[in-house]
Chain A
Amino acid sequence: GAGVSQTPSNKVTEKGKYVELRCDPISGHTALYWYRQSLGQGPEFLIYFQGTGAADDSGLPNDRFFAVRPEGSVSTLKIQRTERGDSAVYLCASSFRQTSGANVLTFGAGSRLTVL
């Protein structure tokens, strides 16, 4: 597709349930990023993939959060035993290196997660 696609756009779940959020990056983009954004705050970095491997997962808040990108394209963010504090908009972005040497990220519209 032309842009970064995220599904579902909205997800409501109950505390303790398991959730998967999917990101389809722009074709050919080698880097993929996950962020989450709480109301009134800027996006907070979670994890970044270069190809299939996680190049930086320092933003994952705890071991309930996990992300995969098995074929270097689509990525899934997985959240186990969801808590009310996990409620946020989860943003995905992708990029390739710009010729200027400063790469630009293209973001999806996000997946809004509400944990009741």
Chain B
Amino acid sequence: DAKTTQPNSMESNEEEPVHLPCNHSTISGTDYIHWYRQLPSQGPEYVIHGLTSNVNNRMASLAIAEDRKSSTLILHRATLRDAAVYYCILRDGGSQGNLIFGKGTKLSVKP
């Protein structure tokens, strides 16, 4: 799986939008972009994934650059419960193999 680069940490205010960036310049044509998050003392939790088009679900939105070399996870209104480590991971579409986690971005949300 290709490598991703994320900032170590970010801060946000409650009720404001949060944009979490991820660079993946070596992405291949069959790689899906996955996001997971890990709340304190819990296992990672799936957030969203996409291939080429922007994606929306009840948790977040995923904006994918046209050249697919970067993407942004968007939390539309941050809450205190969104404070977590967010991981951006590339996954070959035909693979059921393991996910390779980096260190992720630690998001702090201020009231």
Which residues of A does B touch, CB under 8 Å? 4, 31, 33, 35, 40-45, 48, 50, 55-56, 59, 91, 93, 95, 97, 100-110
Q: Are B91 and A107 in contact (CB under 8 A)?
A: no
B97 sits at the interface (CB 8 A): yes
Residues of B contacting A93 in the complex (Cβ-Cβ under 8 angstroms): 43-44
Q: Which residues of B contact A40 (CB under 8 A)?
A: 103
Of the listed residues B42, B87, B96, the one surrounded by the most CB atoms of chain A closer than 10 A to its CB is B96
Is the Cβ of B104 less than 8 Å from the Cβ of A42?
yes
Q: Which residues of B contact A (CB under 8 A)?
A: 32, 34, 36, 41-46, 49, 51, 85, 87, 91, 93-104
Q: CB distance B97 to A55 under 8 Å?
A: yes
Residue in A50, A55, A108 whose beta carbon sits within 8 Å of that of B43 in the complex? A108
Distance (whole angstroms) from the CB of B58 to the closest CB of chain A: 15
> How many A-B contacts at CB < 8 Å in the complex?
68
Given A91-B43, A102-B49, A107-B43: A31 and B96 within 8 A (CB)? yes
Are the C-beta atoms of A101 and B43 separated by less than 8 Å? no
Give A44 to B44 CA distance when docked, in angstroms.
12
Q: Which of A59, A102, A106 has the most CB of B within 10 A?
A: A102
Task: Tell me the complex Cα distance, A33–B45, Å.
Answer: 14
A105-B46 CB under 8 A given contacts A42-B87, A95-B96: yes
Q: Which residues of A contact B95 (CB under 8 A)?
A: 103
- What 11 additional pairs, Cβ within 8 angstroms, besides A42-B104, A104-B34? A35-B98, A42-B102, A102-B32, A102-B93, A104-B46, A105-B46, A107-B45, A109-B41, A109-B43, A110-B42, A110-B43
A100 to chain B, nearest CB (A): 8
B104: chain A residues at CB < 8 Å are 42
